[in-house]
A and B are shown apart, each in its own frame.
Chain A
Amino acid sequence: MIANLRRSVPAYLFLLPWFIGLVGLTIGPMLLSLYYSFTDYALLNTPEWTGLQNYTNLFQDPRYLQSLEVTFVYVAVSVPLEMAFALAVAVLLNRGLKGLAVYRALYYVPSLLGGSVAIALLWQQIFGTDGLLNDVLGIFGIEGRGWISEPGTALWTLIVLRVWQFGAPMVIFLAGLRQIPDEVLEAAEVDGAGRWQRFWRVTLPLLSPVVFFNLVLQIIGAFQAFTPAFVISGGKGGPSDSTLFYTLYLYQQAFGNFRMGYAAAMAWVLLLIIAVFTGLNFVLGRTWVFYGDEGVRR
């Protein structure tokens, strides 16, 4: 027993840095934030225990409910659009295009730029009242509007931004498409399946694990979206709270209004929401995700 322990000591030793990181940077702060979520903590003074107060206050706060609504609309609209777009481009790129690597890189660039200040400026150039979009619309005699500066359209410009940054799921789709053996598609062709039939009946089912993977990741990512709204609305979530993302409101409460306890409660509710959605995804996934080795197992 002791000898065994001796032998494994170096292993534990090598694990130690990671373990310290896990406890110090992940588990510790998480537990602390759980504790803060039950307190009134103004960031500069000691936390005061208030029980469930923060949680009950949440659902009486109209701005919190607004942030929930904005975030749900964003997730529900942007994720399917982005996925469809990424898949379409991946299929096109998969056709043995010349200079494939270059296209792959080009399409991936917007994802790398993320929510940088440059993007915010670019978006204002495109969607501002004197912006590019209105210039184009003007050619057709359509009168434009301030797309970013009006509450009715501001969120949609952020959805367009997310769809435009389809590079990450696209690269994963492309890798998935590469895994589909040519023989299967050729066999289908010999059996008389047309292009669309081959896509719907062969490619898509074989790709479903990758679709599932992307879907789970993109939904989680969309719920946590922060930078685009922060940068484009100057941290305010405006105009008129129309881009007040969940995480943006959380940030405002924590660092703008000194309500760390309230923000911590928000964070835990968000964790719960994401957990529910991910769980739902896994349950529903059983009905449509097809793993290639299932046939073998049977």
Chain B
Amino acid sequence: MNTFSRRTLLGLGAATAAAITLPGCSAKSGPMRVAWYGPDPVTKAINKALDAWKAGGGAEYAGESAPFDDYWDKLATQTSGNNAPDVLRMSMSYFSDYAGRNALKDLGSAGIDTSALDKDVADSGLSDGKNFGIGQSSISYAMYVDEAAVKQAGGTVPEQGWTWDKFAEFARDYAGSVQGSYGSGDQAGNLQLFEVFARQHGTELFSDDGGKLATSKETVQEWFQYWADLRTAKAAPPQNVSAETTGIEKSLIAKGKAPLQFGWVQQVTFYQPLVKNPLAVLPVPQGTAGDLKGQFVKGLDLWCVSAASKHPEDAAKLIGFLLNDEQAIKAIGILLGVPPSQKARDLVAADAGSAGARAIKYVEDIAGQVGPSPKPWPKGYGELLTGFGRIAENIGFGKTTPAAGATEFVELAGKTLGQ
């Protein structure tokens, strides 16, 4: 076999090597990639907005969507492989992880038109004086109430808010008068509702620099104990029932087993189609009735461009389109949160009587009464979010006590923050 010359050999070898290594670290720059997370309605809405972008002569793109949990696993892998999508939806839960590790592009001079946006939302992506993302919505925590069900059970839910004590009383009464149901879903593992609770106790959840937990161990313990008491009173479901209520379709409110549900304000539009009565959107319980200082309104999701993007101009244009174009605004509605500009809110709220309109009205109503928005959630927030839920679950199953659980969370925060 001497038909191969050395040159052919070398050439062949090189070609083989290239063919094998290319797919791994592709230097391809095909169409711009757009990635987002969220349930099915969100994906449908964003696809519709992207259709409008293309119809209007926008650049080629490829969309990628995933449920919230999977999205972050995927994004972490893609980013470390230098293969992140160009335009990406970013949650405040992970923003600091990415912005702090230089994975996002500074959009300060990208020329995105943010003039119509509310100031606090437009600024929500600022970190170390750079703008790593543009707020796509503002949101606040809320409680959605099936008022018809409550009325039928002979109860009332005060519009102006109630204290946690009154809320517990209500939950016990409701569970007592409606067979087989609970006054509320178990929120012990809900760190985002706990943040409001912590602020009602006079401190932020995290220190300003994000280096440590600002709330006290006593407050964490009080929270875990509050829900443990509700479970004991059968006002909140036992832990094994809660373990089966993951997902919107399986939630207690969708199954008619509880008259209310907690969540970010825009999520009412996910639950509404599953509940036959209209859901009222109300503030969460307070320390002092009617004092909404614990709550806040904040830009919580952002559109970002990855630092390694090969299409930064198109990416910036697309973000501007999603925020300002009338068709995009209408397509997205309030699925990502309350739209960040007055023009957008007017467009969406035109459909009065919809859950979306009620969500917008809720945020407008409370905006003047809430406390200042907290700093962006710190690096490691995602780990604390799941850790808090896990500790609450251990308490619910009787594997640990509220006091020991509080200690465990404080220790976890000490280890995770400021890394």
A147 to chain B, nearest CB (A): 9
The contact of A240 among B12, B20, B69, B399, by CB within 8 Å, is B399
Q: Is the CB of B383 within 8 A of A128?
A: no
**Interface size classification for chain A:** 35 or more
Number of residues on chain B facing chain A (CB within 8 A): 41
Q: Is the CB of A149 within 8 A of B383?
A: no
Could you jot down 23 A-B contacts, CB within 8 Å?
A: A6-B2, A7-B1, A9-B1, A10-B1, A13-B13, A20-B16, A20-B21, A21-B20, A44-B76, A45-B101, A146-B241, A149-B240, A149-B241, A150-B240, A150-B397, A236-B386, A239-B239, A239-B240, A240-B393, A255-B73, A255-B77, A256-B72, A257-B382
Measured CA separation A248–B186 after assembly (Å): 26
Find chain A residues with CB under 8 A from B21 CB: 20, 24
Given contacts A241-B390, A258-B76, contact A44 B98 (CB under 8 A): yes
Contact with B along A8-51 (1 / 0, CB 8 A): 01100100110011001000000000000000001111000000
Q: Is the CB of B73 within 8 A of A256?
A: yes
Q: Is the CB of A13 within 8 A of B390?
A: no
A294 to chain B, nearest CB (A): 43
Q: Is the CB of A238 within 8 A of B241?
A: no
The contact of A256 among B16, B98, B383, by CB within 8 Å, is B383
Q: Is the CB of B79 within 8 A of A44?
A: yes
Please tell me if B158 contacts chain A, counting CB pairs below 8 Å.
no
Given contacts A241-B390, A256-B383, A257-B382, contact A146 B97 (CB under 8 A): no
Please tell me if A235 contacts chain B, counting CB pairs below 8 Å.
yes
Nearest residue (CB) in A for B94 is: A258
The contact of A257 among B9, B17, B24, B383, by CB within 8 Å, is B383
Measured CA separation A256–B419 after assembly (Å): 15
The contact of A145 among B24, B97, B240, by CB within 8 Å, is B240
- Which 7 pairs across A and B sit closest by C-beta, in order of nearness? A149-B243, A44-B101, A146-B240, A255-B73, A43-B80, A149-B240, A257-B383
Measured CA separation A239–B1 after assembly (Å): 64
Please tell me if B413 contacts chain A, counting CB pairs below 8 Å.
no
Please tell me if A80 contacts chain B, counting CB pairs below 8 Å.
no
Q: Tell me whether chain A's interface is mostly helix, strand or loop, or mixed.
A: loop
A25 to chain B, nearest CB (A): 8
Measured CA separation A260–B73 after assembly (Å): 12
Measured CA separation A7–B4 after assembly (Å): 11
The contact of A258 among B69, B97, B394, by CB within 8 Å, is B97
B308 to chain A, nearest CB (A): 11
Please tell me if B88 contacts chain A, counting CB pairs below 8 Å.
no
Given contacts A44-B102, A150-B240, A239-B240, contact A255 B399 (CB under 8 A): no
Nearest residue (CB) in A for B400 is: A240
Q: Is the CB of B2 within 8 A of A238?
A: no
Nearest residue (CB) in A for B380 is: A257
User: Of residues B24, B102, B239, B240, which shows the largest number of chain A Cβ atoms within 10 Å of its Cβ?
Assistant: B240
Q: Is the CB of A235 within 8 A of B393?
A: no
Find chain A residues with CB under 8 A from B382 CB: 256-257
Find chain A residues with CB under 8 A from B20 CB: 17, 20-21, 24
Given contacts A234-B246, A238-B390, contact A10 B4 (CB under 8 A): yes
Measured CA separation A98–B128 after assembly (Å): 74
Find chain A residues with CB under 8 A from B79 CB: 43-44
Q: Is the CB of A146 within 8 A of B4?
A: no
Measured CA separation A199–B416 after assembly (Å): 58
In the complex, chain B residues 1-24 whose Cβ is within 8 Å of any chain A Cβ: 1-2, 4, 9, 12-13, 16-17, 20-21, 24
Please tell me if A129 contacts chain B, counting CB pairs below 8 Å.
yes
Find chain A residues with CB under 8 A from B101 CB: 42, 44-45
Please tell me if A209 contacts chain B, counting CB pairs below 8 Å.
no
Find chain A residues with CB under 8 A from B159 CB: none
B104 to chain A, nearest CB (A): 10
Please tell me if B244 contacts chain A, counting CB pairs below 8 Å.
yes
Please tell me if B297 contacts chain A, counting CB pairs below 8 Å.
no
B321 to chain A, nearest CB (A): 28
In the complex, chain B residues 95-118 whose Cβ is within 8 Å of any chain A Cβ: 97-98, 101-103
